[in-house]
Structure 1
């Protein structure tokens, strides 16, 4: 399951770092904290390994 945005890829990388013990979980905020608690290391690795090239910074609701 590839990341849909650069922000999602970065959050997955931070969550993966905490899951492995490289970063304290107390340093995580928002989406990365939720990801660390709810996703497996394998799922996080798949999201974090997605290339950021040609990905939008954020994916959200359109502003119509």
Structure 2
């Protein structure tokens, strides 16, 4: 599933880094903290590898 915004893509990248052991899980904040618990490495990789071109900074909550 592709990321809907730049912020979501960046959070997925941080969660993936923590899941792979490149970053400590206790350094995560906000959405990335819940993503690391609820998503698989493949799902995080797919979301983090989304191209940023044309994405909004933050997706609307509607």
Deviation at 1:61, TM superposition (A): 3.7
Any residues of structure 2 matched to 1:44-63 within 5 Å, and which?
44-61=44-61
Any residues of structure 2 matched to 1:1-64 within 5 Å, and which?
1-61=1-61
CA–CA separation in structure 2 for the residues paired with 1:28 and 1:6: 17
User: Would you identify which runs of 4 or more consecutive aligned residues in structure 1 move more than 3 Å?
Assistant: none
- TM-score, length-normalised on structure 2? 0.96
CA–CA separation in structure 1 for the residues paired with 2:8 and 2:15: 10
Note the aligned Cα RMSD (angstroms).
1.0
- Structure of greater Rg: 1
Which structure 2 segments of 5+ residues have no match?
none
